[in-house]
Amino acid sequence: MKAVSNMENSLHPNHIAIIMDGNGRWAKQRGLPRISGHKKGAESVREAITACKENSVPYLTIYAFSSENWSRPAKEVEALMELLKFYLGRELKQLHENDIKLNIIGDREALSDDINDKIQKAEELTKENKSLCLTIALSYGGRQEIVNAAKKIALAALNNEVDAEELDAKEFENYLYTTEIPDPDLLIRTSGEKRLSNFLLWQLAYTELFFIDVLWPDFKKQHIVDIITDFSKRERRYGSS
């Protein structure tokens, strides 16, 4: 069952989601290969994690690799997967020491066995950590997540495990990748682009959106502090008026 935010009616975010956009443009502006932008962008992930911990935000979800990203040039995808393996190994100890729980969502069948092994190890090691739940969307697509949930429900209905007539939005959420975490309170997208790019399409229904003209590798924890301040001034109505 999905966790319920204990800050639902407050002006402080319980869950921040980020579309990390601009790595390629950052590298191009500097005459560097695209992978250099991705490496620099990893530093900004640390900035975001630190900002969330320092500002008592218990959930952070980042969009690391979409299902559409598999169509990028093979060399870039290979380099990204190698970078992912490197950071899953190097960062794991620090995440655990900082009481951070790691959660991976997406189509794991598309990932290699060695990456899945590292993911399983990381999730098992950090599963009891409490200070921050860091969710990384890998090989993730929002539409596919919803389709997969619908398939699971259809199969459950065929097996008389669920009554389709009684199915509602709350029950449907139990079949999503994010069943154990609350919906995001705010979404940040860097680089100035203003679209969701197939990210958390169900979960972002009432999320406050922040689009900033900063390329992801230039993103710092102060950006999150400023956005939280802006968020605190908004009035959330959840479609009631």
Complete DSSP assignment for 182-223: PPPSEEEE-TT----TTSSTTTTTT-EEEE-S--GGG--HHH
Catalytic residue among 55, 69, 148, 198: 69
- 132-147 pLDDT per residue, tens: 999 999 999 999 999 9
Please report, rounded to a whole number, the percentage of residues in the chain having pLDDT higher than 90. Answer: 80
Structural domains of the chain in order of their starting residue, each with its CATH number: 15-141+182-231 (3.40.1180.10)
Q: Is the pLDDT of residue 164 over 90?
A: no
Average pLDDT of span 62-77: 91
Give the integer Cα–Cα distance in Å for 224 and 216.
Answer: 12
C-alpha pair distances (Å), 232 with each of 103, 125, 128: 27, 34, 30
Average pLDDT of span 71-97: 89
| Residue 232 exposed, middle or buried by CB count within 10 Å (0-12, 13-18, 19+) | exposed
- Looking at residue 89, what is its pLDDT? 84
Concerning whether 9 is annotated as a catalytic residue, the answer is: no
Catalytic residue among 6, 14, 21, 198: 21
- Looking at residue 6, what is its pLDDT? 40
Give the count of beta carbons closer than 10 Å to the beta carbon of residue 151. Answer: 11
Please report, rounded to a whole number, the percentage of residues in the chain having pLDDT higher than 70. Answer: 95
- Looking at residue 240, what is its pLDDT? 66
Classified as helix, coil or strand, 90 is helix
The 8-class DSSP code of residue 137 comes to: E
Q: Is the pLDDT of residue 73 over 80?
A: yes
Give the ranges where the chain is alpha helix by DSSP (H).
Answer: 23-29, 34-54, 74-90, 92-97, 113-126, 142-158, 169-172, 221-231
Close Cβ partners of 158 (under 8 Å, ≥ 6 residues apart): none
- Looking at residue 60, what is its pLDDT? 98
Q: Say whether pTM exceeds 0.85.
A: yes
* Mean pLDDT value across the chain: 92
* 179 within 8 A of 153, measured Cβ to Cβ: no
Concerning whether 69 is annotated as a catalytic residue, the answer is: yes
Of 12, 10, 16, the residue nearest 204 (C-alpha) = 16
